[in-house]
Structure 1
Amino acid sequence: MLYWTIVCLVVAIIAGVLGFGGIAGAATEFAKILFFIFIVLLVISLIANVIRGRGPKV
């Protein structure tokens, strides 16, 4: 999911540089939504690992 966030961000930057304001705005908003979903899933995963008592795999 983080991959798609980065792809949308790159598309937004390229579209912004080329002057496609509407496409850049839509891609930016989509990237923001994916980024926040990724952050929420990360926090849930961290909390679940703390509750289970598991540390990171080495």
Structure 2
Amino acid sequence: MAFGIGGKCYMVVAGDVSDVNNAVTVASESAGEKGLLVYRSVIPRPHEAMWRQMVEG
């Protein structure tokens, strides 16, 4: 997913927390099978400033 930047990656997934958790679980299982997953985290309600930083950079 992010080989060009040294393997660092993050994804922004929005929606109901349960749906996001399910999506992250499925993606993590797939990445884990390939040995590509180091850590995963779901932040249910990020602070507005954090959200802006993640989305806008």
Q: TM-score, normalised by structure 2?
A: 0.39
Larger of the two Rg values belongs to structure:
1
Q: TM-score, normalised by structure 1?
A: 0.39
